[in-house]
Structure 1
């Protein structure tokens, strides 16, 4: 059996995900697509929102479903109403897709992007934030864990710092939901986005967002789909929902939604990521490899171990690992351009609760053989 060390890309689906998706597709064949949807209405219209809400400590009414975490993030941030000349804070660990969206938002309102500096070890400088926070800071974007590095950002401390300010606080939890405890109340964020396919162990093509109700009217959505709005006349329409589903579109892949529900239920049953000893063993294995250079800023780390090698390209290492039955991945510095400037490509490995110490031993032997 292969050793899967690429959960940060896409995890092995949780038990029940394939069964839920295949069963729904079979129902579409047997009953018809509309009829299958009606038969699963409770799961599709209520239970999936409840379960995802429980995963992150939110109400079901504050959850919206999307086709990806990026879609969820952009559907919120790209359409925020912000004053002209606003300041937008982001961290050096910002995902490039988010960064592009922030650039466009700043251009649209004549705003300014500002990067929160880090201390020498790579942790955010919270004192800098505290001393410079004023009414002009309209948005603060923090990636809980970047896609290529295992550094965990202090999202709760940032939330406490921003409490009572005018800033909208958005957390990208793409790599942490399903891996680390995530509680939107403890974080104090106004919005949080996550992917289904990573540590939550759901299907690809799934993502969701938590959006605090007081933020709903500050998001200028391009349109409301007919499952959440009604056109009353030539010149007027009205919303027919009092939930965050107002940000969704009606047409979606119901099999994927049921797979996401199965993943959420599995996460609630076992909400832990990789055991500390497994992550520690992965980190130590890379550190002990001659020629390896660890990419590991920050004091708190989890889940992801990234590195380069003096004598072997990331592609050579990935392919060599694959020959030995180990799945790793080649990360791109361009996906986290502010913190990985000068790093073109690197090896990314990541562990979850299905990985064992024996897996790490297999990885270590494969890495030594590949870079011999």
Structure 2
């Protein structure tokens, strides 16, 4: 039973066969010849379907090979300067946080973390009280990679409307799982991957850009300067076809995504079967298991840990019982997990193909693991956070706080963990 959609969705058999066939034909017939045949699927069709899925016009969409790289390119075009402020949240992924940290270090801008309320939701009142024209960029993960909270991206968009700041939403874990309405969210850029809840092939993602974000990017290069299949087909694909947002995805990946989106039309992005609360209940009822579920709104992802059993052990034992889950580590969400004493955790995620019976099997398997696995005699020693040799982020009263720093693993730990001393801005 596959419960790891948040890492990589289950590509339909027909999509997988199509991707393999396109790759085979490119090898024997040549990429340009094959591209001509799939011009419509890799152009108007895929952009139209993506636009309908995220509520954005097709000419504002860009297909990319790496969504995080596209985000980094856009941040680099902002022209941040001394005195600018950049807002992130405690749920930012390590990849995007690295981009923001580097951009602020180069420009002497201040990176600030929006605090959470007692219930785990973003403190929108804090944002409203401190929002001014010095805030140049706000980055929010719709659904973080390390837990199942759904952040209030629409409310944030309303708050930021009319202000200078560029609003960037990470939709890697939400597009295909949740309803997404770009107009209601009011973002300037939404990035996402094609291989998670969209169930397409690896190596293809997208960026949805507002007119303001498109204007921030350079004018697209002419088709004669474009490489790969886009040059041969003449498919513009918005600004991304000029390579402005990084390398283009391969033709097979784009065709596969289009086929997966066709399949998505019949699935929908709403939890009509009521699986999401059942997923949390399936895990939360197991004795000794602690849920990592901040906030009032959750989705089809649940993260949990056990105080005496390593996440790697739980994941392996679940796999031995036919349940495929995922181990997440603190460094993947370094502003949230380490500060709550979480070093490793297990993440399970569902899509529309799962059933209540699947979740009953998860409960049974997890109960068996917890009952039979050999626990640690003592929790691993926690390594104190080290100050990074880099500019500091702004702290609560304008004081400096240390940036997240990588530390050596504690005894018995075999992965790198980021233990930040960062506090909220």
Instruction: Return the match for 2:161 from 160, 163, 172.
Output: 163
CA offsets 1:134-175 (integer angstroms, 9 cap, x no match): 010000000001001000000000000011000100000110
Unaligned runs of 5+ in 2: 227-234, 372-425
Q: Compared with structure 1, are the counterparts of its residues 228 and 47 closer, same or farther at alpha carbon in structure 2 (3 Å cutoff)?
A: farther
Tell me by how many angstroms 1:75 deviates: 2.5
Distance 2:12 2:38 in 1: 20
Tell me by how many angstroms 1:80 deviates: 2.2
Task: Specify the alignment match of 1:260 in structure 2.
Answer: 257
Task: Specify the alignment match of 1:197 in structure 2.
Answer: 195
Instruction: Return the match for 2:277 from 275, 280, 285.
Output: 280
Distance 1:10 1:241 in 2: 28
Tell me by how many angstroms 1:365 deviates: 1.1
CA offsets 1:120-141 (integer angstroms, 9 cap, x no match): 0100111111111101000000
Contact 2:62 2:237 in 1 (8 A): no
5 Å-filtered alignment, 1:357-372, equals 357-372=356-371
Q: Compared with structure 1, are the counterparts of its residues 355 and 65 closer, same or farther at alpha carbon in structure 2 (3 Å cutoff)?
A: same
Task: Specify the alignment match of 1:236 in structure 2.
Answer: none
SS in 1 for 2:78: coil
- TM-score w.r.t. the length of structure 1 is 0.91
Tell me by how many angstroms 1:300 deviates: 0.3
Task: Specify the alignment match of 1:66 in structure 2.
Answer: 64
Q: Compared with structure 1, are the counterparts of its residues 251 and 64 closer, same or farther at alpha carbon in structure 2 (3 Å cutoff)?
A: closer
Tell me by how many angstroms 1:271 deviates: 1.6
Tell me by how many angstroms 1:249 deviates: 5.5
- Aligned residue pairs: how many? 359
Tell me by how many angstroms 1:251 deviates: 5.5
Tell me by how many angstroms 1:74 deviates: 1.8
SS in 1 for 2:265: helix
Task: Specify the alignment match of 2:140 in structure 1.
Answer: 142
Contact 1:213 1:244 in 2 (8 A): no
Task: Specify the alignment match of 1:151 in structure 2.
Answer: 149
Distance 1:55 1:228 in 2: 31
Distance 1:16 1:273 in 2: 23
SS in 1 for 2:179: coil
SS in 2 for 1:326: coil
Tell me by how many angstroms 1:225 deviates: 5.9
Instruction: Return the match for 2:87 from 66, 89, 94.
Output: 89
Moved more, 125-134 or 241-250: 241-250
Distance 1:315 1:172 in 2: 27
5 Å-filtered alignment, 1:1-372, equals 3-14=1-12, 16-29=14-27, 31-219=29-217, 227=223, 243-245=238-240, 246=242, 247-248=244-245, 252-275=249-272, 277-341=274-338, 342-372=341-371
Tell me by how many angstroms 1:226 deviates: 6.0
Distance 2:119 2:194 in 1: 31
Tell me by how many angstroms 1:267 deviates: 1.8
Tell me by how many angstroms 1:219 deviates: 3.6
Distance 1:167 1:306 in 2: 32
Distance 1:363 1:251 in 2: 39
Q: Compared with structure 1, are the counterparts of its residues 173 and 361 closer, same or farther at alpha carbon in structure 2 (3 Å cutoff)?
A: same
CA offsets 1:40-60 (integer angstroms, 9 cap, x no match): 112223221111111101111
Unaligned runs of 5+ in 1: 231-239
Which one scores higher on RCO, CA 8 angstroms, separation ≥ 6?
A: 1
Q: Compared with structure 1, are the counterparts of its residues 248 and 126 closer, same or farther at alpha carbon in structure 2 (3 Å cutoff)?
A: closer
Task: Specify the alignment match of 2:391 in structure 1.
Answer: none
Moved more, 21-30 or 57-66: 21-30
